[in-house]
Structure 1
Amino acid sequence: MAGIKEIRTQIKSVQNTRKITKAMEMVAASKMRKAQERMRAGRPYATKVREIATHMMQTHPEYSHPYLEERKELKAVGIVVISTDKGLCGGLNTNIQRLVLSRLKEFDAQGIKVQATALGNKGLGFLTRIGTNLVSQEVQLGDTPSLERLIGALKVQFDAYMDGTIDALYVATNVFVNTMKQEPSFIRLLPLPDGLADPFQTSLEEESQLPKASYKWDYIFEPDAKSVIDDLLHRYVESVVYQAVAENMASEQSARMVAMKAASDNAKKVIGDLQLVYNKTRQAAITKEISEIVGGAAAV
């Protein structure tokens, strides 16, 4: 009977685990809808800022902002790694870490120095383990992205780019495709591409092949064109990072919901298998007892 008791304990344990994973699945599904709404709400803002900035720069081609200038040689780059603060979301963090590691190896092979910023606890732990030059960090971002919290960590990289310490700035994040698919992406943030192509829809290889858009709009600037373009481009760069964080949060909740659903389904299957073993063991024990009773009665 000791075997039956052990199996019953295992069944109870797996049932308790299934209750937890089922609850986490439902919570993730609720948060996923809100995260997707925030992600989609941020896209029109970034699109409109990108259009206006493009128009303004083409009306004043004589002025070139440092964010638009291609450096002749890449000696050092910055990377902003966006990850989750918590686990239990499938291979989401593993995929982005694998992508970042491959890029770091490429930069190292070319003799390019790297300084990194971690947004999210998992990315911070990863960059610390591999010994990357970590210049800033921000963790415990919560379920709602806040630009005010991100600016401090990002300013370190923006100032380094303006000072010439780094020649390019990249963002590594998970781009939300649909509930079942999240695409790990390595996006070039600075220098900005010609025509300010959408970084979430255009790869690094496709940027150079895009036709340069032309506009015939004109603006009246106050106080002057340089101040307006500078401020607008800075707002645009911040909006891209904010959108990247929003994309990663939507990806996190989707991946967690799928992972918890798979865990719940696996737990249900394990419970079924254990229940079958339990019934067989119990039946064997009952049959043995009956045989002993019949044998004893026959002996008398």
Structure 2
Amino acid sequence: MAKARELKGRIRSVQNTRKITRTMEMVSTSKLKRAQDRVEAARPYAERLSGVIRRLLTPELAARYPLLRQPATVRRAAVVLLTSNRGLAGAFNANLIREARSLMARLRAEGAEAELHISGKKGISFFRFANEQLRTAIADIGDRPGAADAQRLVDELMAEFVRGEMDAVYVVYAKFNSALSTPPTTMQLLPVAPPAAEAEAAAGAQADVEYLLEPSGDEILGRILPLYVRNSVYRALVETSAAEHGARRTAMKNATDNAGDILETLTRTYNRVRQAAITQEIAEIVGGAAALE
């Protein structure tokens, strides 16, 4: 019965593991709903903000704002990578890291100096292990990122871009399309590109409405551009957080299902071994009785 005892121990181990993965799946499902609500709440504000910039922006005004400066060549670029602080989320962090490495390789192949800014312990540990120098490493942004977190990530980069010390800033994050679709995405944060008209059209606004502006459009645009950049980073943070919970829920559901399949196989094997042992014992008893007759 040594093999039967071993199988029974493995069955208990898999049962305990399945309890853990099922609990983590339930926790991730709960967190995903709240994170998805934050993503949906952030979108209308971002769409309206994009619409205001698109309406105010003219070629004459664009030449006056450093955040709209289009450099002839990119000599120095920053890559802001958003990852999670925890694992057990399938290939979520690996895909983000792969996207960031591909972007940095492309920038360096074009002759630019690419520096790395990371939020999340998983990204930090990977690139430190790879001996990549990190200019910024932030590991204390939780499941509910706020505007202050976005400001902390991007304000210094905006200041460097305004001074002409930085030519481009990119953000690598997980775009939250649904719980099952969270592709790694690269967004060019700086220089600010004029928002496309599709966002405003999706919000149901009319493109030909005339406005009376107080203060002037020039002053409004000067105030709103830094806000637009910070809001873009905030949206990337909340979408990455929601995508993390979706990926973890999927990974834990798959693990729970796999544990059930393993349990079914182990239980069947255990029953066969136990039945064989019982049959052997009966045969030995019958053989011993026959020998005594």
TM-score normalised by the chain length of structure 2: 0.91
Distance of 2:80 and 2:143 partners within structure 1: 19
Deviation sequence 1:267-292 (CA, Å, 0-9, x none)? 00000000011001101111111111
> Would the aligned equivalents of 1:81 and 1:171 in 2 still touch at CA under 8 Å?
yes
- By how many angstroms is 1:69 displaced? 1.4
> Would the aligned equivalents of 1:170 and 1:186 in 2 still touch at CA under 8 Å?
yes
> Would the aligned equivalents of 2:51 and 2:197 in 1 still touch at CA under 8 Å?
no
Match of 2:229 among 237, 240, 243: 237
Q: Does 1:87 align with 2:80?
A: no
Distance of 2:82 and 2:221 partners within structure 1: 27
Deviation sequence 1:54-101 (CA, Å, 0-9, x none)? 222239637531111110111110111011111111111111111111
> Would the aligned equivalents of 1:11 and 1:274 in 2 still touch at CA under 8 Å?
yes
For residue 171 of structure 1, what is the aligned residue in structure 2? Answer: 171
> Would the aligned equivalents of 2:61 and 2:218 in 1 still touch at CA under 8 Å?
no
Deviation sequence 1:221-279 (CA, Å, 0-9, x none)? 33x55443222000010000000011111111111111100000000000000001100
Shift of the 150–262 alpha-carbon distance from structure 1 to 2, 3 Å rule, reads: same
SS in 1 for 2:166: coil
Distance of 1:258 and 1:41 partners within structure 2: 24
**Structure 1: tracts of 5 or more residues without a match:** 201-212
SS in 1 for 2:50: helix
Distance of 1:39 and 1:198 partners within structure 2: 21
> Would the aligned equivalents of 2:79 and 2:104 in 1 still touch at CA under 8 Å?
no
- By how many angstroms is 1:42 displaced? 0.2
For residue 112 of structure 1, what is the aligned residue in structure 2? Answer: 112
Give the aligned residue type for 2:196: A
For residue 196 of structure 1, what is the aligned residue in structure 2? Answer: 195
What does residue range 186-265 of structure 1 map to in structure 2 within 5 Å? 186-193=186-193, 195-197=194-196, 217-222=210-215, 225-265=217-257
Q: Does 1:286 align with 2:278?
A: yes
| C-alpha RMSD of matched pairs (Å) | 2.1
- By how many angstroms is 1:115 displaced? 1.4
For residue 274 of structure 1, what is the aligned residue in structure 2? Answer: 266
What does residue range 29-108 of structure 1 map to in structure 2 within 5 Å? 29-58=29-58, 61=61, 64-108=64-108
Match of 2:288 among 288, 296, 299: 296
Number of residue pairs matched? 286
Distance of 1:81 and 1:215 partners within structure 2: 38
Deviation sequence 1:16-70 (CA, Å, 0-9, x none)? 0000100111111111111111001101111111111222223963753111111
> Would the aligned equivalents of 2:93 and 2:122 in 1 still touch at CA under 8 Å?
yes
Distance of 1:147 and 1:162 partners within structure 2: 21
Give the aligned residue type for 1:249: S
- By how many angstroms is 1:181 displaced? 1.2
Q: Percent identity, aligned pairs only?
A: 33
Larger displacement relative to structure 2 (154-163 or 259-268): 154-163
Larger displacement relative to structure 2 (257-266 or 157-166): 157-166
Distance of 1:45 and 1:103 partners within structure 2: 29
Larger displacement relative to structure 2 (41-50 or 126-135): 126-135
Distance of 2:188 and 2:290 partners within structure 1: 87
Distance of 1:77 and 1:147 partners within structure 2: 23
> Would the aligned equivalents of 2:83 and 2:173 in 1 still touch at CA under 8 Å?
yes
SS in 2 for 1:196: coil
Shift of the 6–281 alpha-carbon distance from structure 1 to 2, 3 Å rule, reads: same
Distance of 1:126 and 1:199 partners within structure 2: 37
Distance of 1:160 and 1:47 partners within structure 2: 27
TM-score normalised by the chain length of structure 1: 0.89
Shift of the 118–143 alpha-carbon distance from structure 1 to 2, 3 Å rule, reads: same
